[in-house]
Chains A and B, each alone.
Chain A
């Protein structure tokens, strides 16, 4: 027996124990074992290892298993549509005496009474944004719905994506003189008031001075030549309540019905300056890239490009803000949930965490903004950046925007 034979047979011992050898090879190994003490020892060790594993690999009883089972059951329940056991619910309701519910009923009555008595002023404080774009539009637009001192936030609404982004307002500072003049003129030459305000003005018979005040207080910025009814439907934002952020604001018609109120007018007059200044600042942002307009594009296309660049930049800022929140507990939990193995956890978190919804929406918006920029720009660095981003989303298995990204890439390929 030479060394080569020995190694060959020794390496077959594992398969020999498992009964995985061809009969002829098995017979050869058996014969070799008769002559080779080393291989016999090796075989014994492999067999002992099998016994050891059978004996020692079992895991101990522990509370852990029941806790884990319950956790898994909760994860399963979270993936199932919720069903209400009406019989059980009714039985539970009947089981509790009526007077237990008296405080809740009393509170509801008081609350409803308060709402009824103060209906007009409560409605006035709301910022009302239509959930859906109300007009058909060829080119997606974003508009400043409003801005407020209280929340320092802007709201963008993209009709084609349904995107709604809230970003912190830039610090209020005096715009440069020449820009201010230019854009005040620009704004004043445009139909700047909302339909609601026009109705309001007609109904209340405001004086010329009051009209000017209102014009200043409510400014709707729209993409040039692309003004739509959706923009007119938007109301000024004196304040940004939570429901706006959640995207469940009541329909815009309520604003119209609220017109003609004296307090409304006064409040806007008081805050007008600030609203105008903030809006101007943003206007400056939007058009500051005008200088870098590209040759080969029409004026309208240049404006469109500028528009999409500013939206892209806003969304990049938005994304950066989201990333900053990663150090928060929910951010940490989400980060932990990013691995593919944690689908259950991810599902549970995403159903509760508005931040993740915002993150997805931001990605949707960025995708569209980059696509539009790539379509219009001739700057190769910018195109590469944009396509890089879109490609990243297109191959991201976990992204809900993957298909859109693939479509965008296809369309860009045709350009």
Chain B
């Protein structure tokens, strides 16, 4: 049994190494101007990136635009990508910065418009087009619960769960104390557990 586990782990490590080498080759080709190679990178990571950006923004259309913008920006900035590193973390940093900047702008806008808007646009549990991309009801329940989280909790939750960022990095990114990261994450998890209790 132990031997089998070792074998599986070893095989997964080889797969990862191959994937990485493959990805590096695609990055190099894209750097040399091969747009098809970049297209392959795009297809590899778009789903994961979309899921992350949607989780942050909670809006399908905005997430779609943001993912597009992230890829366009990444293509334009390929020259600054350091070879030998993983592509996805670099790409998701671009998307994350874009999304967080946009959220900050939206917050400012909201504070100006909130008197007019409050009460007319209650948060909706409707997933919109995302419903087509969730195969099971449990998935839809998860995304509905995630969307219903207050933005501040959702942001911290997404950065931790989907980007695997440390509390310290999240604090630096959002310019908040690490203790606040801790408490927001705890609160986000509590709310999600309450919403999904029957499925856990």
Contact = CB atoms under 8 A, between A and B. Distances in A.
A351 interface: no
Given A11-B183, A59-B50, A340-B102, A49 B189 contact: yes
A77 B35 contact: yes
Contacts of B38: 76
Nearest to A53: B161
Interface residues on B, range: 35 or more
Contacts of B62: 339, 341
A344 B42 contact: no
A133 B98 CA distance: 42
Contacts of A98: none
Contact of B105 (A14, A56, A340): A340
A38 to B, nearest CB: 13
Interface stretch (B86-94, B115-123, B128-136): B128-136
A341 B63 CA distance: 9
A65 B196 CA distance: 28
Contact of B71 (A12, A20, A53, A76): A76
Interface in B53-82: 62, 64-69, 71-72, 75-76
B65, B130, B183 interface centre (most CB from chain A within 10 Å): B65
Q: Is the interface of B mostly helix, strand, loop or mixed?
A: helix
Contact of B68 (A13, A57, A64, A72): A72
A1 interface: no
Nearest to B39: A73
B139 A65 contact: no
A64 B132 contact: yes
A282 interface: no
B76 A79 contact: yes
Contacts of A125: none
B193 A46 contact: yes
A18 B161 CA distance: 10
A366 B51 CA distance: 44
Nearest to B146: A57
B42 A15 contact: no
A68 interface: yes
A66 B43 CA distance: 8
Interface in A25-72: 45-46, 48-50, 52-53, 56-60, 62, 64-66, 68-69, 71-72
Interface residues on A, range: 35 or more
A52 B65 contact: no
A13 B186 contact: yes
A56, A66, A69, A339 interface centre (most CB from chain B within 10 Å): A56
A66 B46 CA distance: 10
B114 interface: no
A65 B64 CA distance: 11
B46 A72 contact: yes
Contact of B138 (A15, A56, A342): A56
Contacts of A256: none
B72 A45 contact: no
A68 B64 contact: yes
Nearest to A336: B61
A286 B25 CA distance: 67
Nearest to B133: A59
Contacts of A18: 160, 167, 185
Contact of A57 (B46, B98, B139, B185): B139
Contact of B65 (A11, A77, A342): A342
A385 interface: no
Interface in B26-61: 35, 38-39, 42-43, 46-47, 50-51
Contacts of A341: 62, 65-66, 69, 98, 102
A231 to B, nearest CB: 45
A339 B102 CA distance: 9
A100 to B, nearest CB: 30
B100 interface: no
Interface string B131-158: 0111110110010000000000000000
A345 B75 CA distance: 16
A69 B167 contact: no
Nearest to A66: B43
A257 interface: no
Contacts of A345: 65
B190 to A, nearest CB: 8
Interface in A1-27: 11-15, 18, 20
Contacts of A378: none
A60 B46 contact: no
B68 A14 contact: no
Nearest to A337: B65
A62 B135 CA distance: 10
The 10 A-B pairs at the shortest CB distance, nearest first, are namely A14-B186, A60-B135, A48-B200, A341-B65, A59-B133, A45-B193, A20-B167, A72-B71, A56-B139, A76-B75
14 contacts: A11-B182, A12-B182, A14-B189, A49-B189, A49-B192, A53-B161, A56-B139, A56-B199, A57-B139, A59-B134, A64-B133, A69-B42, A72-B46, A75-B68
Given A14-B186, A345-B65, 5 more contacts: A11-B186, A49-B189, A75-B68, A76-B75, A79-B72
